[in-house]
Amino acid sequence: MTLGLDTAVGDGAESLPRKLPVGWTMATLGELCEPVRKVVPHELGRPTFVYVDIGSIDSIKHIVSSPAEIAVGKAPSRARQLLQEGDTVFSTVRPYLRKIAYVSEELDGEVASTGFCVLRPGKALHPRYLFWIATSGRFVAEVTGKQRGASYPAVRNQDIFEMEIAVPPLAEQRRIAAAVDQNAAHIEAGERAVAAAIERAVDLASSIADSSIARLSDAPTVKLGEMLCEPLRNGVSAKPAIDGKGVRTLTLTAVTRNNFSDEFTKITSADPNKVKNLWLEDQDIFVQRSNSADLVGTSAIYRGVSGWAIYPDLLIRVRVRRDQSLPEYVALVLRTSRVLRYFRQNARGLSGSMPKIDQATIENVEFPLPSLRRQMETVEWAVQQEAALEPILTSINEARTGSAKLRAALLYAASTGALVPQNPADEPASILLDRIRAEQGAKAPRKRAARKPRSVPLGQEELPS
């Protein structure tokens, strides 16, 4: 069964025209953005403030969805960046999670975590144009390629400010931003309908699992930890391989969508000698130990050849004793609403991080354990019920994929000068940038990042296939 909400969707991989439209230029974000004031919350002169941390960002809608109001005396040590309407906040921790948001008027003068790179557009950038570029798949992918560390992968602010983007004339940026906002609103309306359909399908699937296990109330109860043939094991996270050569590694989306295919893997630079015990085997079960609040604890069973891929640090592998428990049966148990609710109630996380469950939480899952024959009958009954859902789920996934392609095509058109008419009377971006530099007068010029040869300028989205 393929269901669940994706946490990230790619933007395609088609080649792009190398020539910039007339009046456009290339510049680094370091040249285009203004510095952000650092602040200690008690300097605000008020008893409380609104704190924007990484956990408050909706990575699908790219909005600040749940900021916390905090007393100045209890301010976290990372609450140091004074926000301004029109800023874009970009999480430097695990950038592939796309914790990016536009700062609205309501958050002007509030405080953000130092876990963000705050992009404040200067005179040559329209705020909404900057926001759309920062959320684009190509931009996120290139930033992710710069991350360091395995257990806590992150990038530096400098890495982001060294990024080069395509800059249209300012007047054209305004037209592009307005057009993207308008079209994106229509796409988002469709995405809301798809999300509602997914939620109903997930509830129905959970009800099938619930009904299956409820039929076994007379069976003895065991804990999952008693059924393991080996200890639970976390995976390993590694940087993406730059040359495309390395170790195939699952993404979280493979488990979210219960789809173990090449599409939901990436090639990483993991050391083969250090991951030799992490290769997938047929009927391995994987549980997401960390994700958004609605996805933490999601699980799936792998059916396929051994040694095809390894799995990342945010997944926990479950291998059970097959002489007493069928892996398919245990996987069914883990999909029940009772177990999912248990996982989410026991998830823990520091401010600004995703909720997490530990291995002990998984080991303490209790469930009825009938004979192997009854386990098989239970699984077969559930499979028959779930088969009726497949056509519905296929349609939902097709709609979701179509929405992602529409969004990518929209950004492709916007970033290649094809979305709105160009006006020869618009002042070229290079002239505006030169004038801004001249106006800075005695100010020391910012050090321009060395340009690297680039086949496709950043800021130009790729048209999906």
Please, which residues have CB within 8 angstroms of residue 368's CB and are 6 or more apart in sequence? 213, 216, 217, 218, 219, 220, 221
Please, which residues have CB within 8 angstroms of residue 63's CB and are 6 or more apart in sequence? 57, 101, 102, 104
Given this model, what pLDDT does residue 63 score? 93
Given this model, what pLDDT does residue 245 score? 83
pLDDT surpassing 80 at residue 7: no
Given this model, what pLDDT does residue 449 score? 53
Question: Model pTM?
Answer: 0.65
Instruction: Please answer whether residues 38 and 124 qualify as being in contact, where contact means their C-beta atoms are separated by less than 8 angstroms.
Output: no
Buried b (16+ CB within 10 A) or exposed e, 71-102: ebeebbebbbbbbbebbbbbbbbbbbbbbbbb
Q: Which of 87-96, 200-209, 321-330, 332-341 has the lowest mean pLDDT?
A: 200-209
Cα 176 from Cα 187, distance rounded (Å): 16
pLDDT surpassing 70 at residue 2: no
Please, which residues have CB within 8 angstroms of residue 11's CB and are 6 or more apart in sequence? 136, 137, 138, 404, 407, 408, 411, 461, 462, 464
Given this model, what pLDDT does residue 329 score? 97
pLDDT > 70 fraction of the chain, expressed in percent and rounded = 89
* Distance (Å) of CA 458 to CA 164, 305, 462: 6, 38, 10
SS (H, E, C) 213-270: HHCCCCCCEEEHHHHECCCCEECCCCCECCCCCCEEEECHHHHHCCCCCHHHEEEECC
Query: Residues 175-187: pLDDT tens digits?
Result: 999 999 999 999 8
Cα 257 from Cα 169, distance rounded (Å): 42
* Helix boundaries (H) for 248-358: 252-256, 327-334, 337-345
Given this model, what pLDDT does residue 441 score? 67
Do the first three CATH levels of 29-165 and 220-369 match, i.e. the same topology? yes
pLDDT surpassing 70 at residue 450: no
Question: If one looks up domain 220-369 in CATH, what number appears?
Answer: 3.90.220.20
Q: Which of 88-92, 154-158, 253-257, 457-461 has the lowest mean pLDDT?
A: 457-461
Query: Residues 330-358: pLDDT tens digits?
Result: 999 999 999 999 999 999 875 446 789 99
Indicate the class that CATH gives domain 29-165.
alpha beta
Query: Residues 388-423: pLDDT tens digits?
Result: 878 887 888 788 788 888 888 898 888 888 899 999
pLDDT surpassing 50 at residue 382: yes
List the chain domain ranges. Answer: 29-165, 220-369
Instruction: Please answer whether residues 167 and 24 qualify as being in contact, where contact means their C-beta atoms are separated by less than 8 angstroms.
Output: yes
Comparing 443 with 232, the larger pLDDT belongs to 232
Comparing 287 with 204, the larger pLDDT belongs to 287
Please, which residues have CB within 8 angstroms of residue 336's CB and are 6 or more apart in sequence? 206, 209, 210, 213
Find, among 245, 216, 208, the residue nearest to 1 by Cα.
208
> Which three-class secondary structure state does DSSP give residue 346?
coil
Please, which residues have CB within 8 angstroms of residue 192's CB and are 6 or more apart in sequence? none
Over the chain, what is the mean pLDDT? Answer: 87
Please, which residues have CB within 8 angstroms of residue 321's CB and are 6 or more apart in sequence? 227, 228, 229
Given this model, what pLDDT does residue 287 score? 97
Strand 111-113 vs strand 48-52: parallel, antiparallel, or unpaired?
Answer: parallel
Residue length of the chain: 465
pLDDT band at 202 (very low <50, low <70, confident <90, very high): confident
pLDDT band at 281 (very low <50, low <70, confident <90, very high): very high
